[in-house]
Structure 1
Amino acid sequence: MHASNFQLDLYLKRVGFAGDVAADALAATLAATLVANTATVKSLMQHQLRSVPFENLDVQAGKIVSLNPEDIVRKIIGDDGKASRGGYCYEVNALFAMALTALGIDYQFVFCRPMFYPMRRPKTHMALIVKVQGEQWLCDLGFGSYGLRAPVALSQVNLPQTQEFDCFRLISPTSGEYVLQAQLDEQWVSQYGFDLYPADWIDFMPANYLNSTHPDTIFVQKYLVIQQHATGRTMLVGNELKEWQQGKVTVTPVATDELASVLKQQFKLELPGKNT
């Protein structure tokens, strides 16, 4: 994944790699010393998850999300690494793929079928299979409420993976197919399924249009904003603010006239203009 305006040092500054990257020179030094290994992939993934929100504000503003790579960089990183916007799966996973490309780390996009709906759904979700140090890892920075918090090795089928206060596992119901499950209330709940057939970036254009416009998609129906942090996650789902802290959740109603202030205070986000 490549964008002409992507700069690794500005990406590191945006995601706060190695703490508060206050100086461009420090970010550039970090970029030069990063190596293609599993620890780097995990660290970058977690830094991005904790700084770049999953959000559908453009869809709620009546816009079709742009999958132009340069637009994604402008939206999430900006010209100086100080932007505060996020995006949904195609955008945040694409940004991560740009960082992997800059580091020379091999990966592929895969189509995923969401499985938490009551009926069978098309493959509209995007994830990445990252290939490093002789292993394939599922990386996903854009699955919303019960999204991964770290890479999961495809070789570790049926093995629970505790990630801070969440627990996941991969199962393989048939050869070459995988299902990601999250443990909720001591039950394993399927999140999405995928195979290893590689997807091209252009293949996601129809799914992006559907998610940006179709009234049956959650992105069109309600606000969905999620920020992960080390002890849990903060979520705006429709008119409710949900805060997970060390496995415990509190829910606070959000009135329409409180939306802008909640987005600003909890997620550092501004409401975009309608249809602009």
Structure 2
Amino acid sequence: MTALHRAHVAAVPFENLDVVLGRPVPLDLKSLQAKLVERRRGGYCYEQNSLFAAALERIGFQVAGRGARNRSRGATLPPVTHALLAVTVEGEQWLADVGFGWQGLLEPVPLRDGARVEQGGWTFGVHVEDEGVHVLRSLRPGGWKDLYAFSPQAYHPGDFTVLNHYSSSHPQSRFLGQVVAQRPGAGAGRSLLRATFSILRPDGSAEERILTADELAATLETEFGIELDAEERAGLERLHEEGA
């Protein structure tokens, strides 16, 4: 499972381009394979972890969905909008998540209190709070930073469909009105938010620059491996000019 997780993260970027282009985001397996594999596009957590779960189940792993609250943006209490996986391997549960973006895991993490792993220069840990709430954390120069928190409650495909509807259409969703593309990696994570391209390293050093409309499509391809067709390219350039 570790090799599959690392390969998926390396090959499939996190992105919300269909949402900002006003397109539907189907979660059926045929659509996911066509988009993420055949068309060399990316997707966000529901798409990526649904596809990864199907692959793991096909080769015999026991997989269960989980729903998490994102804690990476401060002390607010957001709704449960992130989808991840709990995978059982030889009686032990592991946290697998190929769809959290540039801050996300490169490999699975043991789903137990106090677990700590190093992956490509990044350090991740699991902490269990009251009522069995699990928290995935990342060690930064200033100390541990919570990424997201989730309960042991199982989530099913229908639950992911509801979360996907919120994230792709609700006015308060962070995926509406702004281009998001991200990719974790050994030694550096990359992010494109609106027109700002950023690189963050485990030691806390960072760099960023503002992209022009002409640079947007090229950056999505070279930095994130996202191949756009002519219609997608034109739509994103138009949104860039409008400030999305």
**What TM-score, normalized by structure 1, do the two folds share?**
0.77
Residue 51 of structure 2 aligns with which residue?
95
Query: Is 1:50–1:230's contact at 8 Å kept on the other side of the alignment?
Result: no
Alignment deviations for residues 220-250 of structure 1 (CA, whole Å, 9 cap, x no partner) = 1321112233332322122111124564422
Of 50, 57, 65, which aligns to 2:25? 65
Gaps in structure 1 of 5+ consecutive residues: 1-40
Q: Is the 8 A contact 1:51 1:227 kept in 2?
A: no
CA distance in 2, matches of 1:251, 1:223: 16
Other-structure match for 1:252: 209
Give, as a single letter, the amino acid of the residue that structure 1 aligns with 2:119.
Q
Question: 1:113–1:122: 8 Å Cα contact kept in structure 2?
Answer: yes
Cα offset for 1:149? 1.5
Q: Of the candidates 81, 93, 102, which is equivalent to residue 145 of structure 1? A: 102
Amino acid in structure 2 at the alignment position of 1:125: H
The one-letter code sitting in structure 1 at the alignment partner of 2:107 is A
Q: Is the 8 A contact 2:109 2:115 kept in 1?
A: no
Q: Which moved more, 1:243-252 or 1:261-270?
A: 243-252
SS of the residue 1:65 aligns to: coil
Which of structure 1's runs of 4+ aligned residues deviate more than 6 A? none
Unmatched 5+ residue regions in structure 2?
A: 236-244
Output the amino acid matched with 1:92: Q
Give the counterpart letter for 1:42 in structure 2. T
Which amino acid in the other structure matches residue 125 of structure 2?
R
Q: Is the 8 A contact 1:178 1:193 kept in 2?
A: yes
Q: After superposition, where does 1:98-247 map in structure 2 within 5 Å?
A: 98-117=54-73, 118-155=75-112, 157-244=113-200, 247=203
Q: Deviations over 1:127-155 (max 9, x none)?
A: 00000122100000111231112111123
User: For the residues of structure 2 that align with 1:234 and 1:113, how far apart are their CA atoms?
Assistant: 22
Q: How far 1:199 sits from its partner (Å)?
A: 1.0
3-state DSSP class of the match of 2:103?
coil
Confirm or deny: 8 A CA contact 1:90 1:142 kept in the other structure.
Answer: yes
For 1:79-122, what per-residue CA distance to the aligned partner results, in whole angstroms no more than 9, with x for missing partners? xxxx3111000111111111101111111001111123442111
Asked if the contact 1:59–1:220 (Cα under 8 Å) also holds between the matched residues in 2, the reply is yes
Quick one: distance in 1 between partners of 2:91 and 2:84?
Answer: 19
CA distance in 2, matches of 1:148, 1:229: 9
RMSD: 2.0
Aligned 8 A contact 2:85 2:96 in 1: yes
TM-score by length of 2: 0.87
Aligned to 2:13, which of 33, 44, 53?
A: 53
The percent identity for this pair of structures is 31
- 1:5-20 matches, within 5 Å, as none
Q: Distance in 2 between matches of 1:123 and 1:246?
A: 27
Preserved CA contact (<8 Å) 1:72 1:95 = yes
